[in-house]
Every structure is written in structure tokens, then in C-alpha cells.
Structure 1
Amino acid sequence: MSDELAEQFRASHQVLVAARDRLQAAVDAGTATNDQRTRLDTVKELLTPVKTTAVDADGNVTEVERPRQFLKVDPEGQGRAVEVLGDLQQAQHVAVLVPGTGNSLDTARGLADRGDLVRAEAGPGTAVVVWLDYDCPQNVLEAARLEAAIEGGPRLAEFLGELDDLKADDADVTVVAHSYGTDVAAQALLAGARPDRVVMTGSPGLAKDIDEAADFMHPETRLYTERAPGDYVSYTEWHGTDPATFPDAVRMATSDPSGNDAAPVQWHDEYYRLNSEALRNIGRVVRGDLTSITTTKTSRAEETKLVLGTSWGDPLNRVVRLASAGVAALTKPSRASASAAQIAANRANGADRISRSEGRRR
């Protein structure tokens, strides 16, 4: 481990220790609020190594104790954290998880568990970074607006740039974003981020004028999406067109195409379910096993068909679109502004390198 990385881990550990001692003193003095007591439990948990399973190079599943490694942590307010699972400097594949609505420092353990599932599915040589460095919306009303994404996206783009100096030079990077996290990821891409691949699950749409990956992504970054049957968040398309319908995205299956699915995925929060096709496909993208991905083209109507052939997915979409038409929109990137942002990003990040690679392809 490099001195720089070790120092970041040590500094974050010290922040947590100081927070634990301060909160414990308030509890001992009888002055702690309920929120402070909850945060104390959270901080203590973040200081405790996690017992989990790992797959070795021979395919054997073993139980291991994983230390908590934070590149950054802020225990104040809603709280923020950037946690590393695995050996970031030795990994050949790095996944960056971007969570959505309802998350805070108090849900960091659950997010880390999700990261462990992705890491195990992707296999040996994978590290996962759980990126919780923005103020997640805490309810539906907050999630209906893009303010948090607009604020958090550039920060994610900056982190992805810093990640290049922390990981192995030849390691690839996949951003795995869920729900409102897909909006944050989209803003990061508009700000010039260039991961190798992006996975978006359960997205409410990215912006009113983004209808394809080419509207907001660098041409060398590939988009993979998942929409599970019954995912009401995706059906609303509250922020824009569902990325699962983009013509230049790969829409991955969330259920085993053979029909022998031991862990069927439905609704909004099951994409990372153990032994599911949804999680298997995410793992395939992270490790670059792209030819093994299974795909689907089911429609909202097919996914939500009820008795007598009726469907609730399309009516929900129409109702939400009517409702959102009456909501004052924030400044959202149009196709023109997205293109302009991409051109600027290309210039800032070395368009000459792109030209050389395109020349080789020609």
C-alpha cells in the first residue's frame, strides 16, 4: 500500500475515533440526543472490521475479516463516506458504487454489504469503492429535484480523476449507480468523467432532453442498464427518459432468461440480490466479461400486465409526466448543452489522444 493511501486511511480512522469519543462523552453525561446516540452506534460500527466471504483464485469461497478503509469520512450532519473494499492498488477491476435516495452515514454498512456482493460476483482482482460523498435526498419530494445531483456530480467526476492516481495504471473502472445515484453519475459524466463503463439500475431518468447515451457520455464509455419488472421509480421517468430505453445502451436482463431463476428480481430495491441474474450481469460488466451478459427488451406494459391484459406501468408513467409538467424545472442540461459540455471536456482532458485512437481505428 502506498504511503498516500495509507495516510488517507489513517486520517479517516482518526476522524471516526474522535467522533466516537465525543459522542460517547455526551451519552455518558446524559446530554446526548437520539440522533447523537444513533450516530454513535454508526461510528462504532464503522470502526469494526467486517466478516464477509471472498472467492480466491481457485474459486474457493472463504470467510475473511475485512478492515474498514475510508478514503474520506465526515460524521457530521447527514454524514459522508468513501469506503474502499479490497486492494485498490492491486485490483484489475474497480467498481465505484453511487447510491441514491434515503442514504446517509447511518446506512453506510448496508451500502458496504452491497459493495461486498458486487465484489464477490465480479470475482478475484476486483476492488469496490462505495462513494457516499454527496447529500442524498432523504424523501420523495427531495428526490423529485435534481439539486443534489447537480451539486454531487462534479464532486464524483473529481473523485474519478483522483482515482486514476490511486489504482493500478491498467485497472479499468466501472461506475455502478442506483436510482437517484444515476442522476449523480450523469452529472459527473457531463462534467467530463470518463470511466470505462457505467451501469445504471432503477433510474428515474437523467434529464428531460437526454434520450441516449451519446447525449451525455464520452464515446469511449459504454452504458449498461437494468430495469426490473415492477420498478415504479423507472416507470415514472420523473427526470427524463428511462436509460433502459436508450438506443445506444445495453439493457441487461434482471431475471434468468432460461426461466430457472432461484432469485427473481422485482420492484426497485432488488438489483443487488444474491444469486440473481441482475447481480450476475453487474458482475460481468465490472470484470469486463461483456460477451456473457444476458439482455432483455421487455416493455413497461409487458412487465406490469395484470388480469384481462391491463397494465399499471404505462398509466403510472402518464400520471407522473402530467404532474411533473406542473413542477418548476431546475436548470437541466439540454442536448445542446450536453454536447457543448462534452466538447469542452474532450478539450480539457486531451482531445488529441482521442484523435490518435480514432486514427488507429480508421
Structure 2
Amino acid sequence: MKQKTLSVGKTPALSIDLVPGDLRITGWDRDEIKAKTNGSALEMTAQDEKVTLSCDGDLILSVPRAAEIKITSVEGDASLRVLGNALKLGKVAGDLALRNIGQAEIEKVNGDLVVRHAANGLQVSQIDGDASVRDVGGDVQLKKIGSDLHLRNVEDSVSTQVGADAVLFINPQEGAKYNIRADSDILLRLPQNADAEMTLSAGSDLLVNLPDVEKSDGTTRTLTLGSGSAKMTLTAGGDLRVTSRADEWASLADFDISLPFIGADFPGIPDDLAEQISRKADVATRKMDRKIHKAERKIHHAERKMRHAERRAHAHEKRFNRSSHWGGEKKPSDPVSDDERLLILKMLQEKKISADDAEKLLSALEE
């Protein structure tokens, strides 16, 4: 294990090319940088207010709160907190947790991203896992999220492309723009006095439950709430639900993620051992939580496909009845897809329907 301390000013510019393991950075009130690694090499040099650091293992840093930080690559998990200046990260191979920071610009996170309190905005080019973002004071740009997004309490514009579900709690701000696309479902909660012009589009069901807004059918809709000072465009590949009811939102917003700030101390246990215990326990818990959540999401998507298949069967049956009533010829329909056949067989295997019901459903789809 190596440890070094370097005296600096209040606003040093810290540059790190590579962290081969996990990274923890915490801001403090001292005019010095304290570094510790479990590896065998630790180098830290300063020229004026520019500091360069390198190591060959996990890295724990305490830096002045106003330090400017630039890191090219982290090969493990990373957590950074209590940092008020600009933060630039290249690639994080694991999970990334940010708390009480200023402004952050991040290239790629291979795991999950959790942000709590970013005063001056957040920009991320790619997140392969889930993202949970709360309390951001500036613009939020999450260009590509591989899995789910949980977003709430942002004070400016939002732009994101989500690979799965998006759960949002937004109070639209005057002049802000919200452009949110999700390949699966979107659930949005608004305050009752929301002021926004909304353009909504859903691949499946579109449900709006807002005060003084009439319910309507269809999968696209444009609404003006108040003066329409904010602009919101929401596009969902699956269901899109907009509500102002806290109970409805809470019952449906059934997922969120959190990440530990690695290196939490245990009284009476050496720091390095405490970090290893904490990290291993947290990693195991996160992996289990992700497996459970992904399994639940697969079930949810399968159920939605089943509902679509049932609606399609019902539509085919109605067309058949109309053509029979008027003596006309039936129009040829699309063939039954493999997904629909598999869903029906799965329902039969799980005894949700009988063999007769399965046969009728297949026949209806083939009409």
C-alpha cells in the first residue's frame, strides 16, 4: 500500500490518465491532495496548479472541493462526491456514483449511473446499464441509456434516449425543453399546476390522467397545460402514461437503483479491509437486484405482448364477423408471428388458458 500527500492551492487541476481499479474521490476543506492506493506504485507531481497522478491499483483521493478533475479511464467502479468544480470522465468500466457535485461531463459508463445533486448540469454520452438521476440544477443530456432511466427533480432541459423503461417526475420549467424517447414504457408524473406544451406518442396505450384534461383514445396527442411555456416531447415504444396523482405514480414507479459510495469505513476495521468487505457485499447485492429487476421487466414485456396479441385477435374476429354479416370476402390478414405462437404456448404451459382457448386464439389470429 502507498500513500502520499501534496500541498496545493484551493483550485488545483487534477489529471489522471488511468485508474486500474476502483476509484473514490471526496472533496474536503484542506489545501492539499491526499492519495492512497493498495497497489505498489503511486506518483503525484505538481507544476503550478496542475497536478498529475498515476497508480497501479485502487485509488482513494481527498482533494480540495473546488478542484477541477479530469480522468481518462477507470477500470473498476467509481464514486465521487462533494466536488464543486468541473468534472470530466472518459470511460468507467464499472458503475459510477456521483453525489453533491458541480458540473459533470462523462463519455461512457459500462455499468449503472447514479447521480444525486449536481448543481450545474450533467452530460453523459453513453450508459450501458440503468441510470438514476435526481436533483440536477442545469441541463441533463443522457444521449444513450442501454436499460432503464429513473429521473426526478431537474431544473432545466432534458434530452435522452432510453433503451427500456423511463420513470420521470418533472416540474416543467419556463423555457425548458424536454425531449425523451424510450424503446419501452414511459411513466411521467407532473405537478397539478404544470405549465407545458406536450407532444405525446405511444407505440401501445396512451393514458393521460391530469386535472381538467379529457380522456381520449389514440396513441398520439398534443396538450397545452397553462400557457405552455415549457416544451415536452415524449415518445414511447410501449405504453405512455402521464399523471399528476402521487399514489398512481408511486404504485407504478416500482424501480430505482442506488449505488454505494465505495470505501465506507467500518469502526475498528482497517480502511483497506473495510473497503474490500464493503465493495464485495455491495457488488453482490447490486448484481442480485439487477437480475431480479431484469426478470421482472421481461415478465412485464411478455405480458404486454400477450395483451397486444389478444387485441389483435379481437380485431381479426370483428373483421371476420363484419365480412360474414355482409356476405363479403374476408381480407387476408398477416400471418401469425412466432412471438405470438410462443406466447400462446407459454400461456398454455403455465395453465393460464386451456387447450381449447389456445386453439381458438390461434385460429382467430390466422383469420
Higher Rg: 2
The structure in which a higher percent of residues are helix is 1
Normalized per residue, the structure richer in strand is: 2
Common topology (TM > 0.5):
no
Which structure has the higher relative contact order (CA within 8 Å, separation 6+)?
1
Taking structure 2 as the reference length, the TM-score comes to 0.27
TM-score normalised by structure 1 residue count: 0.28
